[in-house]
């Protein structure tokens, strides 16, 4: 892509999210979300491949619907209460409509059906941007709304964790696996947002870290499905040894840093007298853990029966910058002892 156009689109992505972060008026927040959608559409469709164009069309339709619903909910609130403040939205009907609109925008169950197909149609870099950056602005809006309907949010959260777990079990395409992993992690974030929104932001930042590591790993190995992942051990042996750490961190196992958000969320749910919710959420995390384990088996713990074309391929120096990957892997594996420091922020 023309570097000028590429820099314009990436700067617009940054502008849209920053605008939504900085706004206290619903119209401005909606504009930030629209700028984000419009900026990522050319990035998604840049290859003009039929699958990419189809993914872009589906993404555009869902995001446009969700943005219109957000504007309608804030308009209804304005007609009832006479003001447009984000943090002064306390009527139940607009708040519920807004929750549903943000559910559609983020890809939470039961409005998650677009996410695996859209992510499947994108290349890995754009998929990374869509999985991580595009989740920031809607969640920033969600944590600011004052009285959220906690029953609805707990329902959405539990359904999302279960759908993310069960949906990912039957997948061989890695982008679809990452899509279902995204649904499950967003479910965990939504469970706790009406009780302690700091934990939502903590879970979001850990999720972004882990997903970045995973996508960059897939990009270096250039693997898009499990068979390719299984034969990529010969390309980068050190990365092959580290990828199970990323996957188990995504699964939420101690002593890796993915355990931190799940632990704190379960603790907060128990403090709020919701032990059944906490149990169901913890059990549904086992489903996701199964397919993360399957990926780490395929990549590092077993040798695939398919052979690589040569007996040992040349390990050529790749042009990709490996510093982001090394930093994010270090953080996804070793951030758990810093939990008290992170909680104090």
Binding site for other proteins (CB under 8 A): 27, 30-31, 34, 37-38, 41, 45, 48-51, 53-58, 60-61, 64-65, 67-69, 71-72, 75-76, 78-79, 82, 116-118, 120-121, 170-171, 176
Comparison of 21 and 263: residue with beta carbon closer to other proteins: 21
Minimum CB separation of residue 211 from other proteins in Å reads 20
Buried b (16+ CB within 10 A) or exposed e, 263-272: ebbbebbeeb
Comparison of 124 and 246: residue with beta carbon closer to other proteins: 124
Contact residues for 168 (Cβ-Cβ < 8 A; gap 6+):
176, 177, 180, 181, 184, 287, 288, 291
**Side-chain-side CA neighbours of residue 280 (13 Å):** 15
Comparison of 60 and 133: residue with beta carbon closer to other proteins: 60
d(CA 259, CA 188): 12
Minimum CB separation of residue 71 from other proteins in Å reads 5
Minimum CB separation of residue 173 from other proteins in Å reads 8
Comparison of 57 and 326: residue with beta carbon closer to other proteins: 57
Contacts made by residues 301-304, CB under 8 angstroms, sequence distance 24+:
301/244, 302/230, 303/233, 304/227, 304/230, 304/231
Minimum CB separation of residue 176 from other proteins in Å reads 7
Comparison of 121 and 258: residue with beta carbon closer to other proteins: 121
d(CA 16, CA 141): 13
Cβ(140)–Cβ(18) under 8 Å? Answer: no
Comparison of 53 and 336: residue with beta carbon closer to other proteins: 53
Minimum CB separation of residue 120 from other proteins in Å reads 5
Minimum CB separation of residue 91 from other proteins in Å reads 12
**Side-chain-side CA neighbours of residue 341 (13 Å):** 4
d(CA 46, CA 127): 13
Minimum CB separation of residue 13 from other proteins in Å reads 15
d(CA 129, CA 113): 19
Cβ(69)–Cβ(97) under 8 Å? Answer: yes
Minimum CB separation of residue 125 from other proteins in Å reads 18
Query: Of the candidates 72, 108, 79, which has an alpha carbon nearest to the alpha carbon of residue 182?
Result: 108
Comparison of 31 and 280: residue with beta carbon closer to other proteins: 31
Contact residues for 303 (Cβ-Cβ < 8 A; gap 6+):
233
Comparison of 59 and 292: residue with beta carbon closer to other proteins: 59
First-to-last C-alpha distance (Å) of the chain:
40
Cβ(259)–Cβ(266) under 8 Å? Answer: no
């Amino acid at each position: 892509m023309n570097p000028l156009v590429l820099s314009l689109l990436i700067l617009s992505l940054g502008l849209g999210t920053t605008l939504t972060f900085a706004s206290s008026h619903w119209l401005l927040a909606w504009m930030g979300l629209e700028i984000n959608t419009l900026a990522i559409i050319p990035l998604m469709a840049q290859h003009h491949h039929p699958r990419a164009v189809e993914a872009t069309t589906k993404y555009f339709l869902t995001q446009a619907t969700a943005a219109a619903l957000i504007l309608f909910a804030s308009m209804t609130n304005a007609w009832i209460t006479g003001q447009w403040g984000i943090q002064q939205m306390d009527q139940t009907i607009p708040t519920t409509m807004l929750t549903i609109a943000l559910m559609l925008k983020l890809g939470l169950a039961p409005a998650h059906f677009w996410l695996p197909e859209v992510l499947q149609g994108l290349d890995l870099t754009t998929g990374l941007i869509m999985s991580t950056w595009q989740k920031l602005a809607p969640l920033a809006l969600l944590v600011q709304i004052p009285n959220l309907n906690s029953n609805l949010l707990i329902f959405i959260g539990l359904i999302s964790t279960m759908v993310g777990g069960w949906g990912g079990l039957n997948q061989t395409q890695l982008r679809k696996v990452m899509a279902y992993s995204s649904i499950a992690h967003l479910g965990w974030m939504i469970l706790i947002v009406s009780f302690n929104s700091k934990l939502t932001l903590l879970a979001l930042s850990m999720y972004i870290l882990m997903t970045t590591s995973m996508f960059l790993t897939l990009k270096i190995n250039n693997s898009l499905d499990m068979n390719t992942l299984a034969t990529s051990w010969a390309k980068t042996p050190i990365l092959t040894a580290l990828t199970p750490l990323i996957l188990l961190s995504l699964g939420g196992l101690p002593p890796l840093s993915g355990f931190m958000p799940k632990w704190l969320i379960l603790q907060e749910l128990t403090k709020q007298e919701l032990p059944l919710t906490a149990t169901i959420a913890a059990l549904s995390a086992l489903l996701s853990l199964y397919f993360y384990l399957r990926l780490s088996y395929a990549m590092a713990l077993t040798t695939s029966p398919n052979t690589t074309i040569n007996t040992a391929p040349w390990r050529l120096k790749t042009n990709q910058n490996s510093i982001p990957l090394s930093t994010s892997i270090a953080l996804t594996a070793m951030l758990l002892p810093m939990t008290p420091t992170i909680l104090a922020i």
